[in-house]
């Protein structure tokens, strides 16, 4: 038995080593390339980037420290994304449940939906000015359609057997909606929220790159304008960590709230 | 679909869309609730869209050449992203060694939104077509790899067993069993990456370009030509929709024997 555990640990650590090896190799190659070839003139090595990331926790990068930048971006994502989730769920549910609502709003929705989020930035600046409002709007638009469509699809795919069974047992329309249809589309709501979250983060970064004075996207853009490649890459790494963290939090919430349904994501 | 063309709900839909444009027109052209530089009326926008085919001001090119520039870059980046992403996803899912080597680096690069690459690519490749194509490549590459990978991984074990029983080699199993059964997933990846390609194209053009639809709306904003901005948005929306429809037609041709939901 002891033998077996040792073997298991050996296998596990072997796997970890095998996973880390390519990353380390990639980083070393990058570092060497930055140190010894002309790539060094174009971009810093990984050590410099990670160092700058850690320094930026204490020393401001531009107007703020990196965690303040992240908080600015977080606030924009939260306001825009939060309102998109709420309205998107309501809109999607209404689309799915009411034929009248669908007839009224589906065509308009389909008319506006193909326009990519970024194309709204110039007009949102004209409408809402350069303040926070235009960024909220961009994040909202980026997230809304994802949530709405996913919820709508979820309602369409409610298992007909469940609906039939509920009806046979004498469910009223109201009970059917609240006890069967809505709970069964919760996984779709979450998958829509997950997709919408990455869309929202992407939108906030573009919005900040085009028009802002702070935030993670600003960092990347400001670095580009002053040809400060370290700042650009620091911003990118911070952004990646930010996105991963948000997705992980949402996944935890999902695991708590619908434990019966384990999606493999 | 054709049968209920004039049903009650179709009529309601038509009325709702018409009403939308009428209200827009009345609010802007008749009641002047907002000045024209904030929101021009719909007739002006469509007029601007049509006129832009011949007029070069204020951004120095007609709508046709903007569209050509955008399409060229988008298709180039999407083509390379699909051409490299799909095979890599397939190989990663089928061969453990490829997976071990490529997966960690891929996971490392994956969470970075494609548009964050814009500054890096501009620094590496200049502000020419190559930089934009490279950004679009990044945005098309990632969904393609992920979806092909899941597609191959979801190959039914039974199908593989049957293939083995009939003496298929490993390579034959891959090309005859796994890849065909992964095709729906591969196309889902292509559809997703086409969407993201189009988004990153527009942002790349807004940030650094001298041609293309994104550039056109950016200049339109700087000149307060809101009609042009909206016309550009409409053109972007229509083209993006068209590309998606074309891809769907191709998919319907190639993917056979689909089960379950769908049309």
Q: Is residue B195 part of a domain?
A: yes
Write out chain B residues lying below 8 Å of A26, CB-based: 105, 108
Query: Does some domain include residue B259?
Result: no
Give me the number of domains chain A comprises: 2
The pLDDT of residue B1: 46
Establish if A139 belongs to a structural domain.
yes
Pair A84, A180 in one domain: yes
Q: B219 and B185 in one domain?
A: yes
Range with the poorest average pLDDT among A8-17, A68-77, B109-118, B124-133: A8-17
Residues 177-216, chain B: which have Cβ within 8 Å of A?
198-199, 202-203, 206-207, 214
DSSP letters of chain A?
Answer: -HHHHHHHHHHHHHHHHHHHHHHHHHHHHHHHHHHHSTHHHH---HHHHHHHHHHHHHS-BTTB-HHHHHHHHHHHHHHHHHHHHHHHHHHHHHHHH-HHHHHHHHHHHHHHTTS-GGGHHHHHHHHHTTSHHHHHHHHHHHHHHHHHHHHHHHHHTS-HHHHHHHHHTT--HHHIIIIIIHHHTHHHHHHHHHHHHHHHHHHHHHHHHHS-SSSHHHHHHHHHHTT-HHHHHHHHHHHHHHHHHHHHHHHHHHHHHTTT-----
Does ipTM top 0.90? Answer: no
Among chain A residues, CA nearest to B237: A115
For residues B5 and B76, state if they share a domain: no
Asked whether residue A229 is domain-assigned, the answer is: yes
Task: State the pLDDT confidence band at B262, using cuts at 50, 70 and 90.
Answer: very low
A95/A92 Cα distance (integer angstroms): 5
Q: Are residues A23 and A134 in the same domain?
A: no
Residues A105 and A222 in one domain: yes
Q: Which residues of chain B does A104 touch, with a Cβ-Cβ cutoff of 8 Å?
A: 12-13, 16
- Residues from chain A that touch B151, judged by Cβ atoms under 8 A, are none
Which structural domain range is residue A6 located in?
1-38
User: Which CATH number characterizes residue A160's domain?
Assistant: 1.10.3720.10
**Any chain B CB within 8 A of the CB of A210?**
yes
Residue B90 lies in a domain: yes
Q: What is the pLDDT of residues A168-189, one digit of tens each?
A: 998 888 888 888 888 888 888 8
- List pLDDT tens digits, range A104-131: 898 888 888 888 888 888 888 888 888 8
The verdict on A58 and A175 lying in the same domain is yes
Answer yes or no: is pLDDT of B259 > 70: no
Query: Which residues of chain B are within 8 Å of residue A201 when distances are taken between CB atoms?
Result: 113
Are A137 and A251 found together in one domain? yes
Interface test with B, best of A20, A73, A118, A232 (most B CBs within 10 A): A118
On whether both A151 and A84 belong to a single domain, the answer is yes
A17 with A66, same domain: the answer is no
Mark whether B15 and B82 lie in a shared domain: no
**Higher-confidence position of A211 and B162:** B162
- Whether B172 is in a domain gets the answer yes
Residues of A in contact with B198 (CB under 8 A): 116
Do A203 and A161 have their domain in common?
yes
Q: What is the mean pLDDT of residues A224-249?
A: 86
| CATH number of the domain within which B93 lies | 1.10.3720.10
Number of folded domains that form chain B: 2
Residues B2 and B74 in one domain: no
CA B229 to chain A, closest CA, distance in angstroms equals 7
Is the domain of A28 the same as that of A105? no
Nearest CA in chain A to B105: A23
Task: Please report whether residue A262 resides in a domain.
Answer: no
Say yes or no to pLDDT of B260 above 50.
no
* pLDDT > 80? residue B151: yes
**Which residues of chain A have a CB within 8 Å of the CB of B220?**
122
Q: Is residue A183 part of a domain?
A: yes
Look at residue B63 and tell me if it is in a domain. yes
What residue numbers bound the domain in which B14 lies?
1-33
Q: Provide mean pLDDT across the span B224-250.
A: 89
Q: For residue B260, is it within any domain?
A: no
B1 and B86, same domain (yes or no): no
Q: Do A6 and A91 sit in the same domain of this protein? A: no
Distance from CA of A128 to the nearest CA of B (A): 9
Quick one: B48 and B149 in the same domain? yes
Q: Is B102 on the interface with A (CB under 8 A)?
A: yes
Residue A264: what pLDDT? 43
What is the rounded CA–CA span in Å between residue B105 and residue A28? 13
The verdict on residue A210 lying in a domain is yes
Res A263 pLDDT > 60:
no
* Residues A140 and A169 both lie in one domain: yes
Interface contact B119-A232, CB threshold 8 A:
yes
Residue A2 lies in a domain: yes
- Compare all CA atoms of chain A with the CA of B119 and give the residue at the minimum distance: A224
- Whether A265 has a pLDDT exceeding 50, the answer reads no
Task: Determine which of A37, A42, A104, A122 to mutate to test the interface with B (most B C-beta atoms within 10 Å).
Answer: A122
pLDDT at residue number B6 = 63
Q: Are residues B3 and B49 in the same domain?
A: no
Is there a single domain that holds both residue A105 and residue A2?
no
Domain shared by B15 and B68, yes or no: no
Question: Quick check: is A264 in a domain?
Answer: no
pLDDT for A227 beyond 60: yes
> How close does chain A come to B240, measured CA to CA in Å?
7
Higher-confidence position of B87 and A18: B87
């Amino acid at each position: 038995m002891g033998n077996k555990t040792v073997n298991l640990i050996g296998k596990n650590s072997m796997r970890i080593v095998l996973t880390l090896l390519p990353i380390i190799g990639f980083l070393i190659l990058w570092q060497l390339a930055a140190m010894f070839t002309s790539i060094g003139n174009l971009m810093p090595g990984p050590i410099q980037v990670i160092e700058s990331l850690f320094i930026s926790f204490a020393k401001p990068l531009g107007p703020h420290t990196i965690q303040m930048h992240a908080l600015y971006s977080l606030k924009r994502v939260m306001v825009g994304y939060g309102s998109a989730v709420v309205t998107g769920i309501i809109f999607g549910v209404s689309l799915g449940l009411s034929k009248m609502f669908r007839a009224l709003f589906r065509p308009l929705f389909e008319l506006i939906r193909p326009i990519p989020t970024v194309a709204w930035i110039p007009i949102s600046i004209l409408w809402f000015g350069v303040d926070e409002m235009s960024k909220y709007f961009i994040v909202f638009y980026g997230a809304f359609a994802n949530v709405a469509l996913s919820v709508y699809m979820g309602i369409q795919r409610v298992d007909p057997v469940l609906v039939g069974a509920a009806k046979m047992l004498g469910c009223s329309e109201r009970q059917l909606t609240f006890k069967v249809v809505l709970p069964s589309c919760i996984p779709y709501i979450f998958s829509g929220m997950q997709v919408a979250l990455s869309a929202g983060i992407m939108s906030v970064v573009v919005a900040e790159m085009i028009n802002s004075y702070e935030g993670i996207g600003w960092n990347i853009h400001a670095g580009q304008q002053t040809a400060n490649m370290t700042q650009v890459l620091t911003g990118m790494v911070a952004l990646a960590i930010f996105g991963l963290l948000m997705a992980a939090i949402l996944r935890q919430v999902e695991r708590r709230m619908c434990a019966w349904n384990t999606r493999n994501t | 679909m054709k049968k209920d063309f004039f049903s009650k709900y179709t009529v309601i839909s038509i009325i709702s869309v018409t009403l939308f444009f009428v209200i827009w027109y009345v609010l802007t052209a008749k009641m002047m609730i907002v000045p024209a530089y904030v929101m021009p009326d719909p007739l002006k926008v469509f007029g601007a869209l049509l006129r832009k085919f011949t007029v070069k001001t204020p951004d120095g090119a007609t709508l046709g050449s903007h569209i050509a520039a955008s399409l060229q870059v988008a298709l180039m980046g999407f083509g390379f992203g699909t051409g490299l992403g799909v095979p890599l996803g397939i190989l990663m899912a089928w061969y453990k060694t490829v997976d071990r080597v490529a997966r960690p680096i891929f996971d490392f690069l994956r969470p970075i939104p494609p548009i964050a690459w814009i500054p890096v690519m501009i620094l590496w490749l200049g502000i020419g077509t190559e930089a934009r194509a490279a950004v679009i490549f990044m945005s098309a590459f990632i969904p393609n790899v992920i979806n092909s990978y899941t597609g191959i991984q979801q190959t039914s074990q039974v199908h593989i067993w049957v293939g083995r029983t009939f003496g298929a080699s490993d390579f034959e199993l891959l090309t005859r069993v796994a890849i065909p059964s992964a095709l729906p997933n591969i196309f889902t990846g292509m559809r997703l990456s086409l969407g993201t390609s189009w988004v990153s194209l527009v942002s790349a053009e807004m940030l650094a370009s001298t041609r293309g639809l994104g550039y056109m709306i950016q200049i339109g904003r700087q000149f307060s030509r809101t009609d042009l901005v909206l016309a550009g948005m409409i053109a972007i929306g229509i083209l993006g929709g068209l590309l998606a429809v074309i891809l769907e037609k191709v998919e319907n041709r190639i993917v056979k024997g689909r089960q379950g939901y769908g049309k």
